[in-house]
Structure 1
Amino acid sequence: MIKRKFTAVTLCLMLYFMPAYGSAGTAYESYGVGSESCGTYLQHYHNRNTLYDSSSYFDDASWVEGWLSASNQMFKNYNGRPITDLLHNTDINGAMLWIANYCNVHPLKSLYRASSELAVHLFLSQYESSK
């Protein structure tokens, strides 16, 4: 029991501290929409109903959906618990609102980091509730 909890926490900490700053010396580069700042994401989010920013917001949402889909694959059957749908208690609109709230507090972080935080949050809530 303790080993499983330790393993879950370790995995989440690994996700949390994964570097993706787009500079030399990091573990890897983050390309595309995920490398934009939370400040840029918030502009897209708040102007998502305008013609200009609606496509930028949908690009952001598509990137987050892809990230969460990849996270589903990573967490699949984690320690024998079938966590295959991180969004099972919400939808992409709820996820994007969560990211907007995160970005309001951390405007200099990246969309990648906000998405990673969301994946960890969703994983932990499901992992704890599946006990």
Structure 2
Amino acid sequence: MPGKTRPKKRRYQKKPSSTLSDAKDHIQKLFTQAKKAAKDNPALANRYTTLARKVAMKFKIRLTPEQKRLFCPHCYKFLLPGRNLRVRIHQHRVIYYCLNCKKFWRKPISKKSFKKT
């Protein structure tokens, strides 16, 4: 049908930069609190992790690679190597194995990081 126009979509309004920086600070604080609480109270560390993820999703903030490695991408539990995370290096890959949900994932290691002797 010629001449028909589509209704305009509502656009997402960006949050103010001050709010985004406050949210990033809050996420960082939650992850540091989760690290402190992980040894004594793993349930509290998991709660801090879920709160940090929810804040990041609400404000559409990407987590840094260091922050992404702090929780399991499958069960979203806080990971502490030796407690609930097994880390292995195999054929230029780091293999992370979550002991909570029994899932694993691999991260490639760049060849630049290996020193030739």
TM over 0.5: no
Of structures 1 and 2, the larger Rg is shown by 2
Higher relative contact order (CA 8 A, sep 6+): 1
Q: TM (normalized to structure 2)?
A: 0.29
**TM-score (normalised: structure 1):** 0.26
In terms of fraction of residues, the more strand-rich structure is 2
